Each structure stands twice: as C-alpha cells, then as structure tokens.
Structure 1
C-alpha cells in the first residue's frame, strides 16, 4: 500500500506505536483560518477504512490511546483514550474493554 503526506503537513502528523490505519483514510491539518494544526494518533489506535480526520481546531486533534474510529467516520475533534467513535460527525458509542 502506498502513502502520501502533503508537504504542507507531514511534520504536523505524529503517529504512535502499534497504530492501524486502514484503506482510504484522509488526514487534513488545516484550520479555520487555513493555519496548519497538529494531528496526533496515540499508541494502539485503530482508524477504520475511508474515515476522515480533520484537525480543524487551532489546538489540533488527538486520537487517544487504543481508540477506535469506525469505518467512514468524520472525526473533527479529539477522541479520548479507549473510546469507540463512529458517524458523521463521529460520536462516542462505547469504550474499548
């Protein structure tokens, strides 16, 4: 599988250990005023296929440790550790056991 990180944001994305990023996931590091915001994916997180992670907040966005993002979800705010989020926009539906 190939990966492309835009030269405008590759230094703004931090990916932890044991992270799984499935097919077709989209990352954006642009804020409301088109600033460039940090995106952090903590250890053990799973991001389902065709999800979009949008770091639109001026503070950036964090996907927590062992968090799960369901397929085709739109994440536009930080996700807590051990949370399962799904939908557009993504909402927490449970915790990882």
Structure 2
C-alpha cells in the first residue's frame, strides 16, 4: 500500500468510526492526529489542544476555542482536554 492509499484508508476508517460510534473521543482524536502527521498539514493543530488542553495566551488556542464552541461566555470556557469535558 502506498502513502496515498494508506491515507485514504485511514480517512475511510475514521469516517466509519465516527458514523458508527466505534471509538470514544480520545481515540478519535488520536486517529485524527495520526492523519494530520501523515498528511504533514498544520490545519489540524487544534487536535493537540483537544488532547492536551487549551492555553489562554496562545492566539491559535483562542481561535480554536471559538471555532469549536468551547466558550461559555466572553472570558470563560472549557480549557481542559476533550476527555475531561463532560
């Protein structure tokens, strides 16, 4: 299997995992992280925040706090890793 086929298989498997609820959030994030590494993209930097938590003084973290709907009001939000957000 070449690199492109491997990436395509991982994407297909990941979509099936989501659609069929086969994995919990932490395992989905790990698989997304692997996909991001394989594709050498920086567009998925938010995955690291979801896995480790958001840092309040990082512009990228603040941006993804908004994009992922983690704010409870203007200054308060869920800063913890996804696995700790209930």
Q: TM-score, normalised by structure 2?
A: 0.24
Larger Rg: 2
Q: State TM-score, norm by structure 1.
A: 0.22
Larger relative helix fraction: 2
Structure with greater proportional strand content: 1
